[in-house]
Amino acid sequence: MTGTGGIDMKRSNEIGWAQVRGGIFIFLALIFFAGGVLLMGQKTKMFVTKGTMRIVMSDVVGLKVGAPVWLAGVDVGLVTDILFADPKNSNEVSIDIEVDTGAMKKIGGDSKITIKTRGLMGEKYVDILPSKQYSDNPPAVLQGTSVAKLDDAIQKASDTFDKVNGIIDNINQGKGTLGKLNKDETLYNNIARLAVEMKSLVITINHGDGTLGKLNRDPEPYNKLISILNRADRTLQDIQASDGTLNKLIYDKTLYTKLSALADKSIQAADDVHELNKRLVSKDSTVGLLLNDREFYDKGMSLLTRAESSVKVIEEVTAKVKAGDGTAGKLVNDRELYNKMNKMVDDLDVLVNDFKENPRKYIRFSVF
């Protein structure tokens, strides 16, 4: 009995120690697991309050769910879903993202949203430029901006290289201006001949022949130029030192003051003329009424029409008088009538003179 009891006690002690070691292992595993959860939570911002937004774009260029979202270079969220926004009516793709609520306040309608790549072939991510405004109620749907894809850039570069190769082929075939410059030996011969002529010209100038040669070898033109410059310098010194007109024009502020005053008066005169013009053309002035009153214009036109009619009548009467028609025409054109009237005037003059000399001859008074 005693032996059996000792064996049971020993086995009980061994089982207890194994359980303690298992418990310690499980406890340490739980601690590591909790630490990992905390680290992952800090990295993925699992415990940060987030909000959702939707971005609509025409092409996501290979963006995947779980890709990071950057705001001004700061990791503020991740992509949660990618799907077609309205497949029946458009080909646009919507990107659902989760963003820190604090960062969402710097995202607005003026934010530029693009999809970029880390490096040349790295991971895709959503890049957002912050808005200029700070909003407590950011928009739920934003419009993204498509960027040029690498395939498009390569295709454009390929097209450009093809065009360059075509130009080079044309040049090699002698087509166009560059082709003629490349293939035609006439240009080379002309350049070679020009070089020979230039060399001959330089030799001639160095020998002192011709106008350029004399200018190169003869010091007289140089001396004359220096003399002219010296005289000009002395003239300027004399102007600065003297009290003449040029000196006063340069240094005396009186002329500037007078010119400035004259300019001010000119501006004032222009303003006065402008004001006078406004008054003249105003409807309250006589000239304004003459210029702007339609009734006066109509009356003036009517007066001109009547005057024109009167002139025509006068012209007709004058024509009739010249033609000898009517009494006035006879008086103007009939010589006999003129003579009779002239004789009548003379007789009347004689009668008046005789009346003055012999009034009794014509007037008699009788009382009875």
Place of tokens 């710097």: 106
Q: Are 54 and 96 in contact (CB under 8 A)?
A: yes
pLDDT grade for 367, boundaries at 50, 70 and 90: very low
**Amino acid 368: pLDDT:** 45
Smallest Cα–Cα separation from 81: which of 59, 62, 96?
96
Q: pTM for this structure?
A: 0.35
Q: 94 and 58 in contact (C-beta within 8 Å)?
A: no
Place 363 in a pLDDT band, splitting at 50, 70 and 90.
low
Most distant CA pair in the chain: distance in Å?
222
pLDDT at position 365 over 60: no
Report the pLDDT averaged over residues 108-123.
Answer: 81
pLDDT band at 2, cuts 50/70/90? very low
Q: How does the average pLDDT of the chain come out, rounded?
A: 77
CA separation for the pair 129, 287 (Å, rounded): 66
**Residue-level length of the chain:** 368
Who wins on pLDDT, 75 or 35?
75
Summarize pLDDT for 170-187 with one digit per residue, the tens: 878 777 777 777 777 777
Q: What is the per-residue DSSP string for 211-278?
A: HHHHHHH-SHHHHHHHHHHHHHHHHHHHHHHS-SHHHHHHH-HHHHHHHHHHHHHHHHHHHHHHHHHH
pLDDT score for 291: 66
Three-class secondary structure of residue 125 per DSSP: strand
Q: Please, how many CA atoms are within 13 Å of residue 211, restricted to the half-sphere of its CB?
A: 0
Query: What pLDDT, in 10s, does the model give residues 56-79?
Result: 888 888 888 888 888 888 888 888
| Over residues 95-110, mean pLDDT | 86
Contacts of 214 (CB under 8 A, 6+ apart): 208, 221
**Half-sphere exposure in the Cβ direction for 244 (13 Å, CA):** 9
More confident residue, 16 or 91: 91
Per-residue model confidence (pLDDT) at position 73: 84
Place of tokens 């024509």: 319
Highest mean pLDDT, choosing among 62-76, 151-165, 287-301:
62-76
326 phi, psi to nearest 5 deg: 75, 180
Q: Is the pLDDT of residue 330 over 80?
A: no
At 65 the three-state DSSP class reads coil
> What is the sign of the dihedral through the CA atoms of 355, 361, 362 and 363?
positive
Q: What is the pLDDT of residue 180?
A: 74
Range among 34-48, 113-127, 232-246, 288-302 rated most confident: 113-127
